[in-house]
């Protein structure tokens, strides 16, 4: 018989978290402890997150040993922990059930009246962060789980006491299908994670299943009416749909009267024909107008007043690694961005073109061999939008290079591009290129940000 995690997450029960210092594991530990469970954990390294958990009275062992899990009612692991981990093996040897992190978050969501889950191929972190700002402005005291650092929280999470949880919801390995959304936001559906999904149709099937997790009687699916693949994914989901759009006058939520000043947008949000909010963003790009509209529509269906949308979005200056300013070097501004898909590159590079810089120098680190190969031609076209493309070697992440692909293959197709073997070489080439009036971007989901930080820290 299949074991259900809900049976093990109860006050007084003991739960052991393997990889407890991780970005979504440490807040999980806090929430579980706040619900009256006895929590222990282990991690490979000391870290500020581990120090914080210990300050709350949660014991954390450094290093993975079988005895760490002894006596636990269940074990929860991060995605980076595999079956050969000694704690997982020891737990299974004595019949202790092992669950995934996403399953635990899903079980916790069922305790909240409102579970606002933000999904999509792109824009999840930014939109989840915008929702957080709005719900804080509305004094709804939300719990929050974001896949990136948010300055207003000084963390990637928040343990609140209100009736709402806001969670970034990732489709990779179908992890979001363990969640329990009452409001499912779908920003867009595109080809990505093709090391797991077969094709676009397979991805759409996953998003359709995500939409169907919403309760039929009281939930909402908030979907981007400007993204055809997202609309196709939810058209037969059997749930209440709330469409938002920048272009379709028949959509439920619209951004109208859009104007730009110094690269930043001001617009009205109209819900079903009535003015809801007047918004000025501190982040640029049409994609962020759409993200803000999505966040506002999610707030509307959950009864948040438009004044909180205005206040919350006015205070939003971006999430960590989302066009984040790192400093200056020789009169050039240095920014970092997490973009790692051609659509995200397009949104970033077209947005920065509106900011008035003399040149845009983009240091890009492709993320995973499979994504680079599957979307190769599109990466080439988008990287041509930069005045100079500096390419770092592909960041392997979870993969081995069985495809024999390299960043040099991209460089051969991009006129004037520069290929570097190491991040130190990337920083050196940026140092040679930089001049006043330039925008230098470090871009990618790996560790490319280190090159920009090294440039700024050199202090010239």
Residues 6+ apart with CB under 8 A from 273: none
Prediction pTM value: 0.87
- Three-class SS state of 205: helix
pLDDT at 460: 63
Give the domains, in start order, of the chain with CATH numbers: 5-100 (3.40.50.720), 112-314 (3.40.1190.10), 324-457 (3.90.190.20)
Order of strands across the sheet with 388-391? 324-329, 332-337, 438-443, 359-364, 388-391, 418-419
pLDDT at 236: 87
pLDDT at 319: 87
Q: Which of 117, 152, 149 is nearest to 136 (CA)?
A: 152
Describe the crossing of helices 342-352 and 286-301 by its angle, rounded to 10 degrees: 110
Tell me if 50 sits within 8 A of 25, measured CB to CB: no
Q: Report the distance separating Cα 140 and Cα 131, nearest Å.
A: 11
Tell me if 142 sits within 8 A of 135, measured CB to CB: yes
- In this structure, the number of other CB atoms found within 10 A of the CB of residue 113 comes to 11
Task: Output phi, psi for 193, to 5 deg.
Answer: 55, 45
Q: Report the distance separating Cα 235 and Cα 23, nearest Å.
A: 34
pLDDT values of the chain reduced to their tens digit, one per residue, 460 residues: 568 899 999 999 999 999 999 878 988 998 899 889 999 999 999 998 899 999 999 999 999 999 999 999 999 998 778 899 999 999 999 999 999 999 999 999 988 999 999 999 999 999 999 999 999 999 999 999 998 889 999 888 888 999 999 999 999 889 999 999 999 999 999 999 988 999 999 999 999 999 999 999 999 999 999 999 999 999 989 999 999 999 999 999 999 999 999 889 999 999 999 999 999 999 999 999 999 999 999 999 999 999 999 999 999 999 888 899 999 999 999 999 999 999 999 999 999 999 999 999 999 999 999 999 999 999 999 999 999 999 999 999 889 999 999 999 999 999 999 999 999 999 999 999 999 999 999 999 999 999 999 999 987 6
Q: Which of 357, 264, 311 is nearest to 132 (CA)?
A: 311
pLDDT at 20: 95
List, as one string, the DSSP characters of 272-292: TTEEEEEEE-SS-SHHHHHHH
Q: Report the distance separating Cα 345 and Cα 339, nearest Å.
A: 6
Q: Report the distance separating Cα 109 and Cα 9, nearest Å.
A: 12
Q: Which of 312, 294, 314, 194 is nearest to 254 (CA)?
A: 294
DSSP class of residue 315 equals: T
pLDDT at 31: 87
């Amino acid at each position: 018989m299949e074991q259900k995690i809900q049976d093990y997450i109860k006050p007084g029960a003991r739960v052991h978290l393997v990889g407890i210092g991780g970005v979504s594991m440490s807040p999980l530990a806090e929430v579980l402890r706040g619900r009256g469970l006895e929590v222990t954990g282990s991690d490979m390294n000391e870290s500020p997150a581990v120090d914080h958990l210990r300050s709350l009275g949660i014991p954390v062992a450094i290093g993975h040993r079988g005895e760490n899990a002894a006596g636990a009612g269940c074990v929860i692991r991060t995605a980076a922990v595999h079956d050969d981990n000694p704690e997982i093996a020891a737990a299974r040897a004595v019949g202790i059930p092992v669950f995934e992190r996403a399953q635990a978050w899903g079980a916790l969501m069922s305790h909240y009246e409102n579970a606002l889950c933000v999904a999509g191929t792109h824009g999840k972190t930014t939109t989840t962060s915008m929702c957080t700002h709005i719900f804080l402005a509305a004094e709804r005291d939300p719990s929050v789980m974001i896949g990136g650092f948010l300055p207003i929280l000084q963390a990637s999470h928040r343990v609140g006491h209100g009736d709402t949880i806001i969670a970034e919801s990732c489709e990779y390995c179908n992890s979001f299908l363990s969640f329990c959304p009452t409001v499912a936001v779908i920003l867009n559906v595109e080809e990505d994670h093709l090391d797991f999904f077969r094709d676009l149709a397979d991805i759409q099937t996953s998003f359709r299943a995500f939409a169907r997790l919403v309760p039929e009687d009281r939930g909402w699916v908030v979907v981007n009416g400007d993204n055809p693949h997202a609309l196709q994914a939810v058209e037969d989901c059997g749930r209440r749909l709330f469409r938002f759009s920048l272009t379709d006058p028949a959509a439920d939520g619209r951004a109208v009267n859009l104007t730009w000043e110094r690269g930043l947008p001001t617009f009205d949000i109209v819900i079903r024909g009535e003015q809801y909010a007047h918004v000025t963003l501190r982040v640029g790009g049409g994609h962020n107008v759409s993200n803000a509209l999505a966040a506002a529509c999610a707030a509307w269906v959950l009864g948040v007043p438009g004044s909180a949308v205005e206040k919350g979005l006015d205070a939003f200056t971006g999430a960590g690694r989302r066009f984040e300013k790192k400093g200056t070097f020789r009169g050039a501004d240095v920014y970092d961005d997490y973009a790692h898909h051609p659509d995200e590159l397009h949104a970033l590079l077209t947005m920065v073109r509106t900011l008035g810089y003399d040149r845009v120098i983009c240091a890009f680190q492709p993320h995973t061999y499979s994504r680079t190969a599957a979307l190769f031609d599109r990466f080439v076209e988008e990287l041509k939008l930069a005045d100079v493309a500096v390419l770092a070697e592909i960041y392997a992440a979870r993969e081995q290079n069985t495809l024999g692909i390299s960043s040099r293959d991209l460089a051969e197709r991009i006129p004037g591009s520069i290929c570097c073997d190491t991040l130190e070489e990337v920083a050196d080439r940026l140092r040679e290129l930089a001049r006043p009036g330039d925008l230098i971007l470090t871009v990618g989901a790996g560790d490319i940000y280190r090159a920009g930080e090294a440039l700024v820290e050199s202090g010239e």
